[in-house]
Structure 1
Amino acid sequence: MRRPSVRLLLALAAALPFAVSAATLKVGDQQLQTRGILEASGQLKDVPYTIEWFNFPAAQPLGEALNAGAIDVGGLGDAPLIFAYAAGAKIRAVSATRSIPLDLAVVVPDHSPIGNAADLKGKRIATTRGSIGHYLAIATLERANLKQTDVTWAFMQPADARAALASGSVDAWSTWDPYVALSEARDHSRSVANGIGLSSGLSFEAATDEAIRDKRAELADFLRRVAAGQRWALDHPDEVAAIQSRVTGLPADVLKTVYQRAQLHPVPIDNALIAEQQHTADLYLRADVIKTHLDVTPSFDKQFSSSAP
């Protein structure tokens, strides 16, 4: 006789009226930023379910993991959410945060002759395809009246992009924190453009449709803890930086810069926010990154917005 699968057994257990939940919430993180905030703020104490963490270097592979159902929920920026949704990912944003977009920048070596966005013409730009860095580069070129064909794109993950910039195989790197802060502090890079006036500063926790349906209570509780941790972190950058430094190995001074300048805080998912996300999607369409018009409204689920304290 064929043995029942673990998934089936868990489903049957969940259906019993007095069964104790044995749910595991699989959480995707980038550079352990969410986990660092939760640990520092004490929000990982007395969690009534298991959290299994998966760390990713950037939003693109995290979005792919969501799309594959390998994780239930994960944090990613506004542009990567659009990129994943346009690719057919069955995911929806279930909570939102906003930061000051100084945490996005196009950086160049200190000795580079590039002084502003117009100087990027004819240059080679490294970024991660579909990332907020990719979005920033496109928006920066557009504001400088440059076309995408005026530059050469080098799509790669952050570690490879940092090495490429250091070796001179690319002229500029469009990226996000903690990579911006790390490049500035350790590689003596400088910014020639940032996200002010170009980026909404929005980022999201996105969950799979399956997790929203089957792990609603765990997801709501997790999102409450994340929002509480983010609010706590606004006034405790030293503590968050120290904890995350121990977890990630990144320098504490760099991480403190990240938190102080971003001022990351939770915001409700409302119609105005969705309109901002639509603006971002429309830029991707103009840039031919996505091929057809995308209505972003179905990529949001507002039911968890009241979960934030």
Structure 2
Amino acid sequence: MTDDSPREGLRDGPTSRRRLLQAGVGAAGACALGLPFGLPLGPPAARAAERVVRISMQRSSVLFTVLKVRGLLAERLAPLGFAPSWHLFTSVIEPMNAGAVDIHADVADAVPIFTQSANAPLTFYARERGSPAAEAIIVPADSAIRTVADLKGRTVGVSRGSGSHFVLAAALKRAGLGFADIRPAYLQAPEGAAAFEKGSIDAWSIWDPFLAFAEAKRPVRMLADGSGLTSYHRYYFVNDAFVAEHPQIVVAVYEALIEAGRWVKAEPEAAAALLAPLWGDVPPAVVAAANARRTYVVEPVAREQLGEQQDIADVFLEAKLIPRRIDATAVKIFQPSSVRG
């Protein structure tokens, strides 16, 4: 899974690289939305007695971004003796598998299949209600490619392990094709954006905000979105050990995410103005278009609702993207309502 920023240029200084390597994350890039890795926000004296909860983000982690910039999570955690430490990753699967942070970036529905396959010590604690239109397979508007079936023999950009990877696999299967019938170009999202703009790939399977950015840059034709293929839920994870030791912190984060989601939908212009500079000075209208396709409704995870996760896992197994069959419903789930007081 890749960074969801529509612009490149994340700072990744030597301090962040050392910490990531020490955490077993390898070369995954990280920063704290333009700040050095792990730099706390606020006066040091006010934070001296607080414990830090490490939170990872992608640029598509809209609700976490809102909580960070508006200081809402810091306000909720301060009475509990904690302060958030924010870390922006260009690849989230590695830090999720390595336990490099405590609470992880919200991820598309495909990502848990890979982390579960790797036996990562992760617990579901929330999900964002489905937004299938926020993922799509697109081509330039003047392309001769008119349908998914026309992708046979074509070069298609996709981020390996992303929700859009599943959308592409499922769309190909529905059209009677497989990955062997196309030339997949496994590109991180910023690389895919550049390749699509230059015309070095024929099609691109991508998610918002990159989808909205591509639509704003040039006329495109949408071959398929997630409708009928995936609900595109986004899931929120916490390390097993952290939720066992600090369930009240996870509850506070969950409640703050609900608040942020309601604010984004109630104040779309303010939300777009907040996010636009953080996404690389993207026009607010592009941000608003991306936000309009997301529900931002945060809710608990119910095991009986994970059937679609199994569908994703089965498609990925068939495509040999995971080494063995997994039961996608056999995961750890934390219910925020189980903690009182």
Normalising by the smaller structure, the TM-score range is: 0.7 to 0.9
Match of 2:324 among 280, 283, 292: 292
Cα distance between partner residues in 1 of 2:207 and 2:338: 29
Cα distance between partner residues in 1 of 2:337 and 2:110: 20
- What's the secondary structure of 2:335's corresponding residue? helix
Match of 1:281 among 288, 303, 313: 313
TM-score (norm 2): 0.78
Cα distance between partner residues in 1 of 2:283 and 2:119: 37
- What's the secondary structure of 1:73's corresponding residue? coil
1:105-155: CA deviation from partner (whole Å, max 9, x where unpaired) = 111122211111111111111111110111110011011111221001111
Matches within 5 A, 1:1-309: 22-31=50-59, 32-38=61-67, 43-44=72-73, 46-47=75-76, 48=78, 49-57=82-90, 61-74=91-104, 75-249=106-280, 250-304=282-336
Cα distance between partner residues in 2 of 1:89 and 1:151: 31
1:41 offset after TM fit, Å?
Answer: 6.8
1:230-267: CA deviation from partner (whole Å, max 9, x where unpaired) = 12322221111111113333321111011112223123
1:141–1:89 Cα change, 3 Å: same
Which structure is higher in helix share? 1
**Matched-pair contact (CA < 8 Å) for 2:128–2:295:** no
1:42 offset after TM fit, Å?
Answer: 6.4
**One-letter code aligned to 1:30:** Q
1:306 offset after TM fit, Å?
Answer: 6.1
**Matched-pair contact (CA < 8 Å) for 2:147–2:223:** yes
Cα distance between partner residues in 2 of 1:191 and 1:227: 31
- What's the secondary structure of 1:107's corresponding residue? strand
**Matched-pair contact (CA < 8 Å) for 2:129–2:296:** yes
1:210–1:21 Cα change, 3 Å: farther
1:301–1:124 Cα change, 3 Å: same
**One-letter code aligned to 1:274:** L
**Matched-pair contact (CA < 8 Å) for 2:136–2:226:** yes
**Matched-pair contact (CA < 8 Å) for 2:108–2:162:** yes
Cα distance between partner residues in 2 of 1:276 and 1:81: 12
Cα distance between partner residues in 2 of 1:56 and 1:193: 28
TM-score (norm 1): 0.86
Cα distance between partner residues in 1 of 2:49 and 2:113: 33
Cα distance between partner residues in 2 of 1:21 and 1:276: 44
Return 5+ residue gaps in structure 2 as ranges: 1-47
**Matched-pair contact (CA < 8 Å) for 1:124–1:151:** yes
- What's the secondary structure of 1:72's corresponding residue? coil
Cα distance between partner residues in 2 of 1:282 and 1:302: 25
- What's the secondary structure of 1:114's corresponding residue? coil
**Matched-pair contact (CA < 8 Å) for 1:39–1:243:** no
- Work out the percentage of aligned pairs sharing the same amino acid: 30
1:8 aligned residue: none
